[in-house]
Amino acid sequence: MGILGDAHPEEEIPGAAKAKALDILVPKAGFFCQICSLFYADEPSMINHCRTRLHRHNME
């Protein structure tokens, strides 16, 4: 399977547009605060964020 889940990345779909700028897409894993629209790469950072004045203010 290819990086994007394509079982046959070498096969082109007839009539499909060519993918462009794939090099700017970076896989991510972590935590996203939907309230503050902020991303944290690890759990301690996420927990610290949840203790901040900004997060508490946005919860109101």
pLDDT score recorded for residue 6:
56
Cα distance between the two ends of the chain = 45
Higher pLDDT: 55 or 27? It is 55
The C-alpha angle 35, 38, 41, rounded to 5 degrees, equals: 130
Query: Would you place residue 2 in the very low, low, confident or very high pLDDT band (cuts 50, 70, 90)?
Result: very low
Q: Per-residue confidence at 1, pLDDT binned at 50, 70, 90?
A: very low
DSSP letter for 36, please: T
**12 pLDDT above the threshold of 70:** no
Mean per-residue pLDDT over the chain, rounded: 83
Domain ranges of the chain: 27-59
